[in-house]
Every structure is written in C-alpha cells, then in structure tokens.
Amino acid sequence: MEEQLGKRGAEKEVELPARKKGKKGGSNARGKESHEVVEAFRDNLVRVVTYRRPTAEDDVGAVVLLSKQDKAPQLQLSEDRLAVTGYKGFRSVRATHGAHEGTFYCEATLQHLGSTGHCRLGWSSKRAEINAPVGYDAFGVGYRDLEGSSVHKALRSSYGAAYSEGDIIGLLIHLPPGGRPMEARTAEVVRYKGLLYQVQDDEPDPKPLPCSFVGFFKNGQWQGKAAEDLLEGTYYPTVSLFTLPEQAAGATVALNFVDQHHGLAAQRVRHAAALATHGECRAGALAATLHLWCCVLLGCQVKTQNHQGQARLAS
C-alpha cells in the first residue's frame, strides 16, 4: 500500500486488485519458487479514505450536533452531543452539518482546560485531518487559545486575543455564492485487509473562493478576519482539544448552534454581511444567501436545503 500523505494523511492509495501474471513452479512445488508472481499496474490504484458508516443522527435533516462519525476516536461526546472532551494530544471533531455558501455563526464555551489543556476552534472541510488540530492543513482555519494566533496550513499568524477557560468564542464564516461543495454525492465502499474504505473519485482541486472569510468573536468582541479567500468546499464548525498524559481530567468545550434570527447571533451575522459587502467584495444578493444554523438548545428542527448537507431553520 502506498501512503500518499505520510503518517497523518487522510488519503492513501491501495492496489485493488492486482493483475495476476502466472505462477512459478507446479502445484506441489516447494521453497522460494512456489509463489505467485503479481504484476502491478497504475490503473489498479484507487484513492481511498477510511470509511465511516453513516448513522441516523448524522443524516441531513437532523438537528445540528457534534458528529459521532466525523471525529477522532479518542474524543468523547456528551450524551446530548453538544460538548466534547479530549485527552492526550490534539484531536478534532466536526459538526454534523456544513455549508459551501452562505454566512454561518455558532459559539463555543471553554468549560474546562486544566493545567495542560489547550484548544483550537475553527472551520474545516472533510478533507482536513481529524487526528490533528484545525488549521493543520489547507482545508481549515483555526483560532488558537495560546497567544490568540490564527492557524492555517500549519502556519501561525498574529491575530486576536488569547482565550482561556470560561471564555465564549464565536465562530463565523462567510462563503459567497459560486463555490463548489467538493464532496462526493455517493460512496463506493471497498474492503482492503479486513477494513472498509471509501473510494475517492478524482476531482479538480478546489480553487480559492474570492471574498470568503473566517472570523471570530471573544466574549462578544470581534477579533477580525482570521483568513480570507478560502478554498472552495463544504465547511463545518470544528473543535480541537489537547492535554498532556499526566492530566487526568480531559479538556472540555461545549457548542451552541445558536438561533441566528434573534439576539447577539443575528447581530453578528449582520456584522459579517457588512464586512462582506464592504470594498471590493460586494454581493447585492447576500441577504438571500444567509443560510442559518438551527438552535439545538431551543429544540428547533432543520430541514434539508439540498443534497450537499446544508441546513436552514424550519419555518
């Protein structure tokens, strides 16, 4: 098996199946000569990612929660799936719903970090590695608790204020119309060495989406744009947690997928609209593209907008 992206890579290539050329030796042959000669061809290689079996909770049409499937196995979700606890090294979890266009906002509360715990919050697509913090690659943007740095492509940049246990961080993303979802609509599943993998169809590389951006609030204070002109794709709220092995209690963050029609959330979505329509990034139809997250805590249900997995508040 040829590893394409190194030990951390989410994708790899496997030979499936090999073409048989023939045998050396007869049926009763012994020793080194009684083996099957296999010739590998490039056409036999397919790109795969580890298959995660979908569940009813992750289906489009459910309320927005933290995903049981799209997370590192070391992370533990609360019973209501609105909080996550992590131990020993950076791992990530994404929400069940994402979007490739529109303006979205949700909030995260740092409930417990402990003496060695750390957190990164942000947005990432499913191409991003979950066994690493958000911002580790080109498919996500993170806001770091230490120094308030932004992280993208594993590069830290001076950004906003540092945050810590007890703070509330608002996560905001703006994706103008025109970007592609960059997600497969159907899944072809294959078995290799006893494990299931999902075949990744060849697709064009994502292009930068002009005027898109990610930004954050700390306790209601806007910290600015952390990254602009994101790669097109479907982005999900993402939480990454870290502790050292000697810390017994894990680091815990709670999510609130707030009702964006009312209160502070509505103000922050309007704030994003003002930023997006300022200067060169004008979008006259922006108001029509504000696809809103559901308020899980108030029991709002969502309905499917389309097959890409976006969600609106049910009327």
**Nearest Cα to 175, choosing from 229, 250, 238?**
229
* Residue boundaries of the structural domains of the chain: 2-49, 59-184+205-308
Q: Burial level of 56, CB count in 10 A (0-12/13-18/19+)?
A: exposed
Are 94 and 67 spatial neighbours (Cβ–Cβ below 8 Å)? yes
Q: What's the rounded Cα separation, in Å, for the pair 136 and 11? A: 15
pLDDT of residue 63: 82
CA distance 314 to 311: 9
Tens of pLDDT along the chain (315 residues) come to 333 333 334 445 555 554 444 444 454 545 444 444 444 444 566 566 666 666 665 555 568 899 998 999 999 999 999 999 999 889 999 999 999 998 888 999 999 999 999 999 999 999 899 999 999 999 999 999 999 999 999 999 999 999 999 999 999 999 999 889 988 666 677 777 777 777 766 667 889 999 999 999 999 899 999 999 999 999 999 999 999 999 999 999 999 986 555 555 566 666 666 665 564 454 433 333 333 443 333 333 333 232 233 333 222
* Candidates 3.90.550.10, 3.40.50.300, 3.30.470.20, 2.60.120.920; CATH matching 59-184+205-308: 2.60.120.920
- pLDDT score for 265: 57
* C-alpha dist (Å) from residue 105 to 27, 268, 293, 307: 67, 8, 7, 21
In angstroms, the CA 115 to CA 108 distance is 20
**Residues with Cβ < 8 Å from 31, sequence gap 6 or more?**
none
Q: What pLDDT is recorded for position 205?
A: 84
Residue type, 238: T
pLDDT of residue 171: 94
pLDDT at 33: 47
Q: What local confidence, expressed as pLDDT, does residue 241 receive?
A: 97
User: What are the tokens at 216?
Assistant: 């954050």
pLDDT for res 131: 93
Residue 140 contacts residue 154 (beta carbons within 8 Å)? no
Whether 169 contacts 217, CB under 8 Å? yes
Residue 193, C-beta contacts closer than 8 angstroms, at least 6 positions apart: none
∠ Cα 98 280 223 (to 5°): 55
pLDDT value at residue 45: 62
CA distances (Å), origin 290, targets 85, 141, 177, 273 = 31, 21, 10, 9
